[in-house]
């Protein structure tokens, strides 16, 4: 397992796709966007506070309701079960709960070989990418750029505002394929 954690528009998905090209074995790419896309619309709209809010309007912060949190925990356990069944997985995540998010993933992935990668990006660069994409809530990239890393520990940190996606993926590849 490779777990990439970073804010919105930091380059996690681009790194994951590049890793899929570079890694000698097939790896699945799953992440926060996969989970959110699988939700019923009513849990993505933020209505009622059960799902995930802040994805359509606001200051760029995301609020997580109890139903979303329960489904997210089930999602994490399911991804871990796939890894235990032999699937190689690159997860791109946004640790909104910082250390609590990582603790949840660590518990689910206990006993598995996991590379924890922090994907950093200068807030201004992430905000510019967000604006160019046009499919994100304005302000989300800047709001998450630093906050998702607070207290989180990594085996490797890459910075997509200082290195290309290919260079960042190469650093991850080197760690995954290094002799142990």
Q: Tell me how far apart the alpha carbons of residues 19 and 9 are, in angstroms, rounded to a whole number.
A: 17
Sign of CA dihedral 123, 140, 76, 86: negative
Query: If we measure between CA atoms, which residue out of 150, 28, 51, 138 comes closest to residue 95?
Result: 150
135 catalytically annotated: no
Three-state SS string over 24-41 comes to: CCCCEEEEHHHHHHHCCH
Identify the helix (H) or strand (E) that includes residue 116: strand 115-120
Q: Which of 33, 50, 122, 159 is labelled catalytic?
A: 33
Active site residues: 33
């Amino acid at each position: 397992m490779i777990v990439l954690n970073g804010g919105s528009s930091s380059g996690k998905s681009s790194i994951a796709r590049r890793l899929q090209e570079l890694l000698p074995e097939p790896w699945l790419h799953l992440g926060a966007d996969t989970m959110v896309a699988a939700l019923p619309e009513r849990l993505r709209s933020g209505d009622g506070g059960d799902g995930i809010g802040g994805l359509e309007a606001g200051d760029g912060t995301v609020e997580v309701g109890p139903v979303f949190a329960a489904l997210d925990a089930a999602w994490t356990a399911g991804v871990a079960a796939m890894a235990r069944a032999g699937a190689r997985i690159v997860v791109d995540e946004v640790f909104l709960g910082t250390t609590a998010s990582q603790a949840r993933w660590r518990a689910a992935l206990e006993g598995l070989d996991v590379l924890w990668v922090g994907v950093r990006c200068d807030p201004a660069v992430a905000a510019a990418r967000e604006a160019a994409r046009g499919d994100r809530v304005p302000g989300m990239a800047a709001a998450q750029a630093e906050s998702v890393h607070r207290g989180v520990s990594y085996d490797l940190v890459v910075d997509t505002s200082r290195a290309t996606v290919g260079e960042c993926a190469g650093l991850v590849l080197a760690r995954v394929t290094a002799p142990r």
